[in-house]
Amino acid sequence: MDDFSNNESYYDIIEDYKYIEPSFAEQYHIRLRETKMKWSEYIRLVSSLKPETTLGRIIAIRSEKNPEVLKKFNQDQRRIRHEWQEKQAMNIDRQAYEEAMKGFSNMFRDFNK
C-alpha cells in the first residue's frame, strides 16, 4: 500500500475523529476525551500517526493506487475507499462552483463600471 510521504491528505481532521481517537490510544496511549491539549499539538500528533494505527490503515485504503492491490480489496475496504472518493468529488464540485460564482460576480461587477 502507498506510503504517507506525499503531501496529499487522505484524512479529515474533524470527520475522521472516530479513527483518530483510537489511533491516539494505540500509538500515544492518550485518551483524548480525558486529555487537554493545544490544537497545534493535536494537529502535530495527528499528522505523526503511524500506518499501523486505525487512521493509518484507513489512509492506506483511501490512498491506494495499485490496481492489483485494489482488486484484492474486500467489501469494507472498497466501501471506505468509495466513500472517500465521493467526498473528495463533492469538495472539488463545491470549489468549482465557488470559483464560477466568483467569476460571475467579477464579470457583473465589471459591467457596472
Mean pLDDT of the chain: 85
pLDDT for 108 equals 61
| Residue 63 backbone class (left: φ over 0; alpha: ψ -120 to 50; beta: rest) | alpha
Q: Which of 7-11, 60-64, 90-94, 97-101 has the highest mean pLDDT?
A: 60-64
**Which set of grid coordinates corresponds to residue 2?**
502507498
Report the 10 Å Cβ neighbour count for 41. 10
Q: How far apart are CA 41 and CA 62, in angstroms?
A: 25
pLDDT digits (tens, 9 = 90+) for 26-45: 999 999 999 999 999 999 99
pTM of the model: 0.72
pLDDT digits (tens, 9 = 90+) for 50-66: 999 999 999 999 999 99
pLDDT for 109 equals 62
Residue 111 has pLDDT above 60, yes or no: no
Q: How far apart are CA 4 and CA 9, in angstroms?
A: 9
Residue 3 has pLDDT above 60, yes or no: no
Question: What residue ranges do the domains of the chain occupy?
Answer: 17-111
